[in-house]
Amino acid sequence: MAEITENTKKILEVILNLKEGQVMSYRDVGALAGLPNGARQVSRILHSMSKKYELPWWRVVRSDRTIGLPEPAKSEQMELLKKEGISFTAQGKIIIEDELL
């Protein structure tokens, strides 16, 4: 099995540090990890490593504060976020009081 890269480690650290009730965009996760154009890499890592590293994947959303996953994963992500106190508009956009996006 290949060793993970430094960039991947940085992205994992940012995601693992997201606390309950916090959300962050793929773009902002990448930027905090030192990869300003790393949104696609963040998406790839969430897709391939969420189970292995027990990542809180549901706390990472699109920069327009919507969920980019298809059903049924979209509904699952919304439910997990609601359990953490996150609210949504009627159009499915996340309402954030303490903006991180």
4-19, pLDDT tens digit by residue? 999 999 999 999 999 9
Low-confidence ranges of the chain (pLDDT < 70): 1-2, 98-101
Q: What is the CATH number of the domain that holds 34?
A: 1.10.10.10
In a domain, 47, yes or no: yes
What is the pTM (predicted TM-score) of this model?
A: 0.90
Cβ neighbours of residue 66 closer than 8 Å, sequence gap 6 or more: 92, 93, 94
In angstroms, the CA 83 to CA 77 distance is 10
Report whether 9 contacts 46 (CB < 8 A): no
Expressed as residue numbers, the domain containing 17 is: 6-95
In angstroms, the CA 88 to CA 98 distance is 14
In a domain, 18, yes or no: yes
In a domain, 100, yes or no: no
The domain total for the chain is 1
